[in-house]
Amino acid sequence: MTPAYIIQTLVSFLAILMLVGIAWWAKIARHAPDLDEASARALIADEFPDHAVGAVWVAADHRSALARSGDEALIVYRAGDGYVARSTPWVRLAEGRPGKGGVALKLADFTAPRARFTLAEGATWPPASLGDAP
Amino acid sequence: MKIDLITLATPFFILAVILEIVLARFARTTTHYEAKDTMTSLGMGLGSQVFGLLTAGLVIAATLWVWQHRIFTIPMTAWWAWVAIFFLEDLVYYWFHRLSHERRFWWAAHVNHHSSQHYNLSTALRQTWTGGVNGSWLLWLPLAFVGFPPPMIAIEKSVSLIYQFWIHTEAIRRLPTPLEYVLNTPSHHRVHHARNPRYLDSNYAGILIVWDRMFGTFVAEDEAEPPRYGIVKNLGDFNIIRAAFHEWVGIAQDIARDPRHTLGYLFGPPGWSPDGSRQTSDQIKAAWRARQPSLASGSDNPIAPRAASRR
Ligand SMILES: [Zn+2]
Ligand SMILES: [Zn+2]
């Protein structure tokens, strides 16, 4: 680690900050529209093409959605300008405790540790429209 | 030597990223950048240079040692030697890259390059931090054993890396047909970064796409099915530590849970599991084929004949 190398690394880091700033300024992220029933269903069908899906529930902030397929919960949620999909056993939804702002559900997955679902006032968890846990 | 060429190229990388962003800003291209994603990709690039130093000494020493036991002495000044190493290094790269996708122990390092849901010039700089530890650099040692001088190998590796920078863009649709036939291009490499089932595990080329055509891994970009970028299970956030190490963590968790299947978890294909509860690329592709009514009976789709022969 020579001084020249350290300076070079610092300059590279500043260059990164500049590029990220330019990317932020340009506002050229993908248009990721809020989820509604139809778009959430389409997204879930894309991500879980071999799953039969019944009702689809969309979180109050339209950034995440949930569907039930047998004893599996199919989850999609927004990350940046894209969406991330995971499934988890349906019974584990009950481990998510509704708190201020909604439910943070642990997924037992290092690559996607938790999904958040905002709840409308008075809404139940797991969403009643998807049926009770078996 | 390697660091030198990459360092020299870095100002051009930066200018090219700015150009791509500005062109997109003024609606000249359909490129997308998301600031957090850009931060992770560029941070991975810088981190890979730093982490690379940890094993650089070992790689250089091993290459020199092998070269001291070489069969021939190939002069760096001969034009034919540069022609030869261009093709041979690119062939080594193809197999390195294919191994990096088909076996989890090597995928754990290479997945970093694929975990962005974006495809732009910043994605090119999203490089691994752990490429030195899985021994994939051993694949280049035969070049030294044949007699190519180590600096020549290092230069050619850098040339390949620098070539592959500019193809990470959506701003260029297609090159003239003869070039698309021979070279790895933005179109071919978009397919390589796609997570659509039909595009998985294809187009491993570095500079020449002819290797994929020869070894049966070529898939053309279909205008009717735009690539969706990223990995089969996209990352849940932009945490750079997660991006750098998640597959290694996954391997460790799997082995801790079920040590009897250590070899399968290490050297099986990504997505392998003893009980079939996860899907490998082959299984994802097979399921996709089964959902295509036109493909099941055979059609003009290039993937269909393989589907038929597997049944
Ligand atoms: Zn790759
Ligand atoms: Zn790439």
Q: Does A24 touch chain B (CB under 8 A)?
A: yes
Domain count, chain B: 2
Tens digits of per-residue pLDDT, B70-104? 999 999 999 999 999 999 999 999 999 999 999 99
Expressed as residue numbers, the domain containing A8 is 1-30
Q: Report yes or no on A127 lying in a domain.
A: no
Residues 36-75, chain A, touching B (beta carbon < 8 A): 49-50
Whether residues A70 and A10 share a domain: the answer is no
Per-residue pLDDT of chain A (134 residues; tens, 9 = 90+): 789 889 989 999 999 999 999 999 999 999 988 999 999 999 999 999 999 998 999 999 999 999 999 999 999 999 999 999 999 999 999 898 888 889 999 998 999 999 999 998 888 888 988 875 44
Whether residues A86 and A116 share a domain: the answer is yes
Which of B160, B183, B208 is the C-terminal boundary of a domain?
A: B160
Whether residues B152 and B9 share a domain: the answer is yes
How many Cβ atoms from other residues are within 10 Å of residue B34's Cβ? 25
Domain count, chain A: 2
Residues of B with Cβ-Cβ distance to A24 under 8 angstroms: 35
Residues of A with Cβ-Cβ distance to B287 under 8 angstroms: 49-50
Global confidence as pTM: 0.93
Helix (H) or strand (E) holding A74: strand A72-79
CB contact under 8 A, A19 and B122: yes
Strands A72-79 and A82-89: antiparallel
What pLDDT is attached to residue B2? 44
Q: Report yes or no on A131 lying in a domain.
A: no
CA distance B200 to chain A (A): 15
CA distance A39 to chain B (A): 17
* CA nearest to B7 within chain A: A8
Residue A95 and residue A105 in contact, taking contact as beta carbons nearer than 8 Å: yes
Q: What is the 3-state secondary structure (H, E, C) of B202-270?
A: CCCCCCECHHHHHHCCCCCCCCCCCCCECCCCCCCCCCHHHHHHHHHHHHHHHHHHCHHHHHHHHHCCC
Out of A98-102, B63-67, B173-177, B225-229, which region has the weakest mean confidence (pLDDT)? A98-102
Q: Report yes or no on A57 lying in a domain.
A: yes
3-state SS of chain B: helix, strand, coil percent to 5? 65, 0, 35
For residue B188, the CA-to-ligand 2 centroid distance in Å is: 10
Which of B160, B182, B200 is the C-terminal boundary of a domain?
A: B160
Q: What is the 3-state secondary structure (H, E, C) of B149-182?
A: CHHHHHHHHHHHHHHHHHCCCCCCCCCCHHHHHH
Q: A85 to each of A2, A42, A96, B10, how far by Cα in Å?
A: 45, 12, 18, 35
CB contact under 8 A, B291 and A13: no
Can you tell me the distance from the alpha carbon of A62 to that of B55, in angstroms, rounded to the nearest whole number? Answer: 46
Residue A63 DSSP code: S
CB contact under 8 A, A23 and B33: yes
Rg (CA), chain A: 20
**Most A CBs within 10 Å: which of B37, B228, B284, as the mutation test of the A interface?**
B37
Whether residues A46 and A68 share a domain: the answer is yes
Expressed as residue numbers, the domain containing B91 is 5-160
Residues of A with Cβ-Cβ distance to B31 under 8 angstroms: 28
Q: Is the pLDDT confidence value at B43 over 60? A: yes
Residue A92 DSSP code: G
3-state secondary structure of A77: strand
For residue B143, the CA-to-ligand 2 centroid distance in Å is: 24
